[in-house]
Structure 1
Amino acid sequence: MNKDIEILKYPIGKFQIPTSITPELVEKWIETIEIFPHKLKAEVQNLTENELKKQYRPNGWTITQVVNHCADSHMNSLIRFKLALTEETPTIKPYCENLWAELSDSKHYRVDSSIIILEGLHARWTTLLKSLHHQDLEKEFIHPETQERISIKTNIGFYAWHCEHHLAHIINAKRN
């Protein structure tokens, strides 16, 4: 049963940092981030209130919570990118995503507002990402929970994965 839950939690697998992050790979990741709001909108725009309450796994988030989480997470991510680009290896502020997902604006508020946020946010975010030079991609921030130094290029990959990860959650929840 634990293996089945892991598959439901990570339908595309866990993020793996490639041994070599090439400019072509970064470009592909940026494209994934750029088109995510459009793919997400296509998956949820015609869902009923009951369908939006479907979960991708037992005791998992609803589709509404997943969409609203993406807006929260990606807003935080853009800020982390900007901190890393403008400060010397800043320590970022984490947030309790599971607690945020239980707040009323995450749990019960309509998803169209988060889609609008994501459309605007991803347009700005990808404009920023496409403007980065090689030395910018090497800049890092520190995650205080792990003390890990995370480069901008690695974080681009993580968020491309994050987009596809939660898109798979929604597709799976719609099948339930």
Structure 2
Amino acid sequence: MSLVNLTELNTSPLFKGLAAKEIEYLSSIFTANKLPEGKTVFIENMPGESLYLIKQGVIKISQMLAEIDEVDLHTLNAGDVFGEMAIIDGGNRLVRARVAENAVLYSLHRNAYNTLVSEQPRLALQLTLNVVRIFSSRIRSAKKDYRTMLTASLARKS
């Protein structure tokens, strides 16, 4: 682990509406990890404990369709956030996250988030709203993708 400087990623949707001092404060509760290409960040059904913000590198998000069948869902780059619902509900992961290019990830553990909620409630609320916006955007995008896939599938059957 190393020191975190979130100000270099202040354009991330995770920090929308936050002042520089608030982002600086968040730097003190995030941790940094360097991960090599091919390393798995988390797998499906693993308990969710942290939200991740990509400082550098590429992360592939995928899901198993069958025991040996895996499909790539998203490719994420610097400034992108993933695993965001872990700090909210701590539920099991629904997808797999793997490093596609050497990465530096900033993570916010659920325990640090819970401390933030009690010590800095206004900041925690804004961060939570941003997490919900990110998640909501992903749901909307997935619905569009699903509709396109379903329409194409029905057109082939006709």
> What's the TM-score, normalizing by structure 2?
0.30
Tell me: higher relative CO, structure 1 or 2? Use CA pairs within 8 A at least 6 residues apart. 1
Q: Higher helix fraction: Structure 1 or Structure 2? A: 1
Which structure's residues are more often strand, by fraction? 2
